[in-house]
């Protein structure tokens, strides 16, 4: 950018200089035309005798006359005759002649021949300067067009990275992923050890996982740990408007990496160019597919033992072309999952480095309160706590700032200007009290940590419930308990006010979706162990959509009835529990109206420890892929 600005200033000065030269030449040789009166010598004599002439300038035989009134005129004298003598001969009075200033000006010199020559050379000079400027710009444009086909990859490693260097020690948790990548680093550093055993260097390593789990951070760490040239580029940087640029940039990138082998190439967001090739209008001539084909050829073509390893990251692996994922191209796929409670505590310790923390800071409690948080979420949490402490003019970060930052990251900042009326505040209080009381009454439910009717983000109130122990699977009884809790706010409003409000709309939407999944996806209904409908899912982005209905109208009717049954049973159970504990419900709601927030300890005192019965069975965690476990928030 600085170079472009410098060139722009340079060109501007060059054009300005040409303009000044042209202006000077015009002012020198092309004087503005002034109309002059031509007098005969007799008329000059008469005006001298009348005292009208002030000055006469003699230039050869030409007389330049300046009158007393400022007007100019010209005349001509006799050849080879002196002006004074000619005037006396024509009858000028001697006394009047003395009053006139006579000046003799030599005509000729260098300007006699330089003037006509300049008039001839000036257009030629202007023509040469113009073409010189055009040629210079064309040459620069040709250079830019050539660099346009080069891959805009950034080179790291070998002292190229500025600032603090990230190593594997700066990456908390992710033990298995770091071990896999350390093997790649060791292969680059000590290739002979593996070649003796006949081992082949992995051609590609693919990092997959939800956003914020540390895929790019691991790439930065391996760039510093390996000690070899590391080229980093985004997938979207290959594809441009013009056809053929993407494949050209791929060739250029791999050629550069091969020249500096052993080396690493990191392609972030690989799904931008690695999507599945599908038959369509563009066919194989589409620019993105041309780029993908070139990557496939470079990764595993006829050329072997290039000592170039490809490292890529994506959160949509199911969208990638199968040809990319086969052995010989991406030999290893490393899954980075959301951290567990120990991992979150370790990540918190890393992000709290260099920040003044108070003695009351309990990172274990913060880790327990943040299930489902990614590494990026935790980094944001600590940063928000530091900002909050600085805003309050504190010199240290206290536990209160960290706990408040959890809610800020989850729901948004407090909306203190969003004041509820007395009636709205009462409805919100009973709604949240219903969620909290039912959560405390069901053994399969999660533990209530906080109940609040302080508006945050888009919610007017919320109940913060956290699992006692993180689980990788959920049972039918836990799903049914979640349904009852979701309907707790709705039933509480109906029980207290004999009518319902719009505050339960989000809860009803979640409950309806969960009940339908119990029937169509999990096989937990009377219809038996069957799954209905084809779905398109992005597991790392928590996105799912039914794309095809592969069942009859009769089955659709049965699905609707089963969904309705789950909802009705949950509503009945929620209403029954709230009627049994109506006094406690009233007590919780009244304290919420008064204080707006109830913490865990005070809530347990209100309901009494005996309200929550221990669960009869303890589910064991199965060795299954962990799903995104988010903090459960029931809000109005």
Catalytic residues: 432
Assess contact for 231 and 264: CB atoms under 8 A. Answer: yes
Task: Give CB contacts under 8 A, 24+ apart, made by 323-331.
Answer: 323/296, 324/270, 324/274, 324/292, 324/295, 324/296, 324/299, 325/206, 328/203, 328/299, 328/300, 329/203, 329/204, 329/296, 329/299, 329/300, 330/203, 330/204, 330/205, 330/206, 331/202, 331/203, 331/204, 331/205
Instruction: State which H helix or E strand residue 518 sits in.
Output: helix 505-520
Question: Which string of DSSP letters, residue by residue, matches 89-121?
Answer: HTT--HHHHHTSEEEE----SHHHHHHHHHHHH
The phi and psi torsions of 58 (rounded to 5 degrees) equal -100, 120
Radius of gyration of the chain (CA): 44
Assess contact for 448 and 465: CB atoms under 8 A. Answer: yes
Taking each helix axis from N to C end, the angle separating 600-607 and 422-441, rounded to the nearest 10 degrees, works out to 80
Can you tell me the distance from the alpha carbon of 613 to that of 523, in angstroms, rounded to the nearest whole number? 28
The CA-based angle 71-75-76, given to 5 degrees, is: 160
Assess contact for 285 and 179: CB atoms under 8 A. Answer: no
**How is residue 414 annotated by DSSP?**
B
Q: Which residue has the tokens 């937990």?
A: 524
What are the structure tokens assigned to 426, written together? Answer: 């009462």
Among 472, 171, 215, residue whose Cα is nearest residue 334 = 215
CA 109 to centroid of chain Cα atoms: 71
Among 501, 497, 495, 485, residue whose Cα is nearest residue 451 = 485
Can you tell me the distance from the alpha carbon of 435 to that of 484, in angstroms, rounded to the nearest whole number? 9
280: left (phi over 0), alpha (psi -120 to 50) or beta: beta
The side-by-side arrangement of strands in the sheet containing 632-635 is: 597-599, 447-452, 462-466, 632-635
Q: What secondary structure, in 3-state letters, does 615-631 show?
A: CCCCCCCCCCCCCCCCC
Which residues have a Cβ under 8 Å from the Cβ of 55 and sit 6 or more positions away?
A: 65, 66, 100, 101, 102, 103
Largest CA distance in the chain: 144
Which residues have a Cβ under 8 Å from the Cβ of 537 and sit 6 or more positions away?
A: 318, 543, 544, 545
The phi and psi torsions of 117 (rounded to 5 degrees) equal -65, -40
Rounded to 10 degrees, what is the CA torsion of 282, 283, 285, 289?
100
What are the structure tokens assigned to 600, written together? Answer: 């865990």
């Amino acid at each position: 950018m600085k170079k472009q600005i410098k060139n722009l200033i340079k060109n501007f000065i060059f054009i300005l200089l040409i303009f000044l030269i042209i202006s000077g030449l015009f002012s020198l040789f092309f004087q503005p035309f002034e109309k002059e009166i031509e007098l005969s010598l007799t008329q000059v004599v008469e005006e001298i005798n009348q005292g009208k002439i002030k000055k006469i300038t003699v230039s050869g035989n030409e007389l330049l006359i300046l009158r007393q009134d400022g007007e100019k005129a010209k005349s001509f004298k006799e050849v080879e005759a002196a002006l004074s003598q000619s005037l006396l001969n024509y009858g000028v009075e001697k006394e009047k002649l003395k009053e006139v200033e006579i000046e003799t000006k030599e005509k000729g010199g260098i300007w006699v021949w330089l003037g006509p020559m300049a008039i001839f050379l000036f257009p030629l000079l202007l023509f040469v300067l113009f073409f010189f400027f055009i040629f210079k710009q064309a040459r620069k444009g040709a250079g830019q067009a050539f660099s346009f086909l080069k891959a805009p990859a950034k080179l790291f490693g070998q002292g190229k990275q500025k600032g603090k260097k990230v190593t594997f020690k700066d990456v908390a948790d992710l033990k298995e992923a770091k071990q896999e990548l350390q093997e790649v680093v060791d292969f680059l550093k000590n290739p002979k050890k593996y070649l003796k055993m006949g081992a082949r260097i992995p051609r590609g390593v693919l990092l997959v996982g939800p956003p914020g789990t540390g895929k790019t951070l691991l790439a930065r760490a391996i760039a510093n740990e390996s000690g070899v040239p590391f080229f980093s580029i985004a997938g979207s940087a290959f594809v441009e408007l013009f056809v053929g640029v993407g494949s050209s940039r791929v060739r250029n990138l791999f050629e550069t990496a091969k020249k500096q082998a052993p080396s690493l190439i990191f392609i972030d967001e690989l799904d931008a160019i690695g999507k599945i090739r599908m038959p369509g209008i563009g066919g194989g001539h589409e620019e993105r597919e041309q780029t993908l084909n070139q990557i496939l050829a470079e990764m595993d073509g006829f050329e072997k033992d290039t000592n170039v390893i490809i490292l890529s990251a994506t959160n949509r692996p199911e969208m990638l072309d199968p040809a990319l994922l086969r052995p010989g191209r991406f030999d290893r796929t490393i899954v980075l999952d959301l951290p567990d409670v120990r991992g979150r505590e370790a990540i918190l310790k890393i992000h709290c480095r260099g920040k003044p923390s108070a003695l009351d800071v309990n990172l274990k409690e913060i880790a327990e309160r943040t299930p489902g948080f990614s590494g990026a979420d935790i980094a944001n949490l600590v940063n928000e706590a530091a900002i909050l402490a600085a805003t309050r003019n504190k010199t240290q970060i206290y536990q209160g700032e960290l706990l408040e930052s959890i809610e800020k990251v989850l729901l948004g900042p407090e909306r203190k200007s969003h004041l509820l009326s007395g009636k709205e505040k009462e409805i919100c209080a009973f709604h949240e009290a219903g969620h909290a009381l039912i959560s405390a009454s069901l053994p399969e439910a999660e533990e209530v940590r906080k109940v609040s009717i302080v508006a945050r983000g888009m919610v007017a109130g919320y109940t913060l419930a956290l699992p006692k122990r993180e689980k990788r699977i959920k049972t039918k009884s836990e799903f049914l308990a979640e349904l009852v809790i979701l309907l707790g706010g709705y039933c509480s409003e109906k029980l207290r006010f004999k009518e319902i409000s719009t505050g339960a709309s989000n809860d009803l939407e979640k409950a309806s979706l969960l009940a339908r999944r119990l029937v169509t996806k999990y096989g937990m209904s009377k219809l038996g162990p069957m799954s209905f409908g084809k779905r398109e899912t992005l597991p790392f982005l928590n996105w799912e959509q039914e794309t095809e209905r592969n069942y009859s109208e009769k089955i659709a009717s049965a699905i609707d009835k089963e969904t309705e049954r789950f909802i009705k049973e949950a509503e009945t159970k929620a209403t029954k529990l709230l009627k049994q504990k109506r006094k406690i419900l009233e007590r919780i709601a009244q304290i919420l109206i008064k204080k707006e927030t109830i913490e865990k300890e005070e809530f347990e005192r209100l309901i009494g420890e005996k309200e929550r019965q221990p669960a009869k069975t303890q589910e064991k965690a199965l060795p299954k892929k962990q799903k995104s476990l988010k903090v459960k928030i029931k809000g109005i």
